[in-house]
Chains A and B, each alone.
Chain A
């Protein structure tokens, strides 16, 4: 019996192909990226070793600092605008309202759609002349408010956040809903007998017991904000005048438009570090509290 389950050939056959492709494509490139980030290199020839000078440039260059600031603002918007809406929806749906399944299905639809489609759709919504937003404003008599939402610096950043916030409300709602539903019904029965109101039950019982899933949502929304690429790339390309630039679009243009491979790699290493540090911080925050 044991010889069958310790068959070395079978184990190699089952595990090695996966390990090979996984290490080669996922793990090794991180190491390689970190090495590239120490070079001054345009992709041709060998490149010169310049130590940490790419990182020094990144933390002094106003364009890079602006992109980092934008990604932090993006994360903050996700946490303080998107997650509360999702939580409210999840709590309402978990409290057995009419049409629970229908709403859950509907809210989740945008999550599944390609970000490219979402971005194209929203660029049409924002279109200055014929877009949905300006048309609606004109219909309700606020034509003075209509403007080129993505074409000017002062509105572009906020309005390029909205599609992502909109798209993933349903995702966090679903996770939180699953978390709320996994709480034992006995607790709610007890609260009801004690005469607790719905708001009080939610604040004092449901939300505290949802901590594990809230942590997951918090990590996902912060990391998701740091990694955002597709939406900004398609919607604004980082413009106008770099006002909507985020680290990933800066990385992309640095590498593939200006051929600064070393500096671009430094930005990619920064994105990984940013994700790891914030995951660690959130985990720590949830542990100590």
Chain B
């Protein structure tokens, strides 16, 4: 290939690169600018928002919007409820699913395959199907308006994915690890807890991230099973807050941002891990 030929081949490549970069930047701006705009108006007062200058940076950063959202807007209560519900849900999902995943993949019993199939069936079920029956059961057990009304369903619906991910990790652990532990006199419980469980920490992280996102962001159960304002989680709380502060965009914006910040912080700290979790969750066989 002559020099001129090579150069003429390189030129469309260069033009192609510029077009591709332009496209990537345009999409990046559309994906991010609405969120930046939200951050901007959460720091403005109504005068500035409604005078037509809603696009740019706030003239003066009005942090009092955040203070008002936390105190008057009850965001602190909602936040606490969300943290509590999500944390207990994650703990229970990890505990239950790792035990079950372990028993299914590493222990000898007749029904292990059937159990796995049954649990995997749950991945197909949309939560809509369970809404009314669950509502009736929780009502009869007098569990509506308690944290358990959210924690139990969140755990149940997180189990299929969690068992699947953990089971595939347990499968990859060499048998010799457990065998030598047993020869050294460990019983099944100690072998599981101190030898095997520490080895699946990456899977536990994946499951935790997944469970965090689904329960932190869930709305349908939260809006149906809880109507006591002091027990509401952030998603439902945001809806009532928007109703209360209908024209005060700044305070609403502050509330929305407070709801989002934990997720964004986790993502920025662990972005690789979060992305891998979402991929692992999707490619389920």
Contact = CB atoms under 8 A, between A and B. Distances in A.
A271 B128 contact: yes
Nearest to A23: B118
Q: From DSSP, what is the main secondary structure of chain B's interface residues?
A: helix
Interface string B251-276: 01100100110011001000100110
B173 interface: no
Given A112-B267, A116-B219, A216-B283, A261 B132 contact: yes
Name the residue among A8, A29, A174 with the largest chain B CB count within 10 angstroms.
A29
Contact of A5 (B24, B106, B136, B278): B106
B218 to A, nearest CB: 8
Nearest to A7: B188
Interface in B164-220: 178-179, 182-183, 187-189, 191-192, 213, 216-217, 219-220
A287 interface: no
Given A19-B115, A25-B152, A103-B28, A112 B263 contact: yes
Interface stretch (A74-82, A146-154, A229-237): A229-237
Nearest to B16: A198
Contact of B130 (A11, A25, A43, A226): A25
A135 interface: yes
A190 interface: no
A119 to B, nearest CB: 9
B129 A29 contact: yes
Q: From DSSP, what is the main secondary structure of chain A's interface residues?
A: helix
Given A10-B107, A121-B256, A268-B131, A103 B155 contact: no
A10 B160 contact: no
B49 interface: yes
B248 to A, nearest CB: 12
Interface stretch (B58-66, B68-76, B95-103): B95-103
A32 interface: yes
Contacts of B152: 21, 25
Nearest to A110: B31
A213 B278 CA distance: 13
A14 B187 CA distance: 14
A227 B103 contact: no
B122 A26 contact: yes
Contacts of A129: 50
A1 interface: yes
A10 B27 contact: no
A59 interface: no
A265 B132 contact: yes
A92 interface: yes
B126 A178 contact: no
Contacts of A114: 216-217, 219, 234-235, 238, 259-260, 263
A105 B17 CA distance: 20
Contacts of A21: 96, 152, 155-156, 159
Given A10-B189, A21-B96, A251-B128, A32 B219 contact: no
A175 to B, nearest CB: 5
B7 interface: no
Name the residue among A7, A111, A114, A223 with the largest chain B CB count within 10 angstroms.
A114
A139 B260 CA distance: 29
Nearest to A93: B24
B21 A6 contact: no
A14 B103 contact: yes
Given A106-B32, A130-B50, A132-B54, A30 B278 contact: no
B278 A106 contact: no
B154 to A, nearest CB: 10
Contacts of B24: 89, 92-93, 97, 99, 103
Interface stretch (A50-58, A62-70, A164-172): A164-172
A229 B130 CA distance: 14
A116 B252 contact: no
A147 to B, nearest CB: 17
B130 A30 contact: yes
Interface in A212-269: 213, 216, 220, 223, 226-227, 229-230, 233-234, 248, 251-252, 255-256, 261, 264-265, 268-269
A227 B134 contact: no
A276 B124 contact: yes
Contact of A268 (B34, B129, B136): B129
Contact of B30 (A43, A93, A166, A264): A166
A11 B267 CA distance: 36
Given A10-B103, A275-B124, A121 B28 contact: no
Contacts of A124: 38, 41, 249, 252-253
17 contacts: A1-B183, A5-B108, A14-B107, A21-B156, A27-B118, A33-B129, A92-B23, A108-B267, A110-B31, A111-B278, A112-B274, A116-B219, A117-B238, A130-B50, A174-B278, A230-B219, A272-B125
Interface of A: 1-2, 4-8, 10-11, 13-15, 17-19, 21-30, 32-33, 36, 43, 85, 88-89, 92-93, 97-99, 103-117, 120-122, 124-125, 129-132, 135-136, 139, 166, 169-171, 174-175, 178, 198, 213, 216, 220, 223, 226-227, 229-230, 233-234, 248, 251-252, 255-256, 261, 264-265, 268-269, 271-272, 275-276, 279
